[in-house]
């Protein structure tokens, strides 16, 4: 009985070790919110995206918008939004197209696809890739879209926080 319990614990621990829902970088940058307009134009092309990211805004868990975001929002000229639905948990990791809005064309920029996963606790993690050009940046919906029943709005106890 004890051996079985240890085996189950080791199996669960090893699953969590590679699960992006437990190993991600918190991205809490207010300028990424869909309600933010700034004079500075941010560009995600030169960021060395590594691993998985979870979006926050003032400590609240968010998700990427699934609709076209107006030009000059999210701290950039051509905001990047998810051109497809977020996955259900049973779907695991999915690949989604990302679009950048520019000059009245909601998908003027078709960025490299990203990966998305829905996690327990009703939140999402994203494996971002560098956009195809500047000035494009990933957006975070400014409303707490993932804060439904059972959602965890604050950062978890053991995420991988960005250095610096």
Alpha-carbon torsion (78, 80, 128, 142), positive or negative: positive
Q: What is the chain's mean pLDDT, rounded?
A: 83
Strand partners, 98: 82, 111
Alpha-carbon torsion (31, 141, 36, 154), positive or negative: negative
Alpha-carbon torsion (87, 46, 80, 83), positive or negative: negative
Over residues 42-59, the mean pLDDT reads: 95
Strand partners, 94: 116
Q: By C-alpha distance, which of 162, 123, 128, 141 is closest to 21?
A: 123
**For residue 49, what are its two tokens?**
């995206």
* The pLDDT of residue 15: 55
SS3 call for 77: coil
* The pLDDT of residue 162: 37
More confident residue, 156 or 141: 141
Lowest mean pLDDT among 36-45, 59-68, 108-117: 36-45
pTM, two decimal places: 0.79
DSSP 78-113: EEEEESSPPPPGGG-SEEEEEEEEETTEEEEEEEEE
Confidence of residue 144 (pLDDT cuts 50, 70, 90): low
What pLDDT, in 10s, does the model give residues 2-16? 444 333 333 344 456
SS3 call for 162: coil
Per the CB < 8 A criterion, the answer to whether 60 and 147 are in contact is: yes
**For residue 105, what are its two tokens?**
């064309």
Over residues 11-32, the mean pLDDT reads: 82
What pLDDT, in 10s, does the model give residues 90-101? 999 999 999 999
Strand partners, 96: 114
SS3 call for 57: strand
């Amino acid at each position: 009985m004890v051996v079985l319990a240890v085996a189950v614990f080791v199996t669960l621990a090893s699953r969590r070790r590679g699960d992006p829902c437990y190993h991600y970088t918190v991205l809490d940058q207010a300028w990424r919110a869909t309600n933010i307009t700034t004079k500075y134009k941010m560009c995600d092309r030169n960021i060395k995206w590594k691993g998985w990211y979870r979006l926050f805004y003032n400590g609240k868990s968010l998700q990427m918008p699934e609709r076209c975001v107006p030009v000059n929002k999210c701290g950039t000229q051509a905001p990047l939004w998810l051109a497809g639905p977020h996955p259900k948990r049973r779907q695991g990791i999915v690949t989604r197209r990302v679009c950048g809005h520019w000059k009245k064309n909601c998908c003027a920029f078709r960025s490299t696809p990203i990966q998305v996963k829905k996690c327990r606790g009703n939140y999402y993690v994203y494996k971002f890739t560098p956009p195809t050009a500047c000035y494009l940046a990933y957006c975070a919906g400014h409303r707490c879209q993932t804060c439904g029943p059972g959602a965890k709005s604050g950062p978890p106890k053991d995420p991988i926080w960005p250095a610096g």
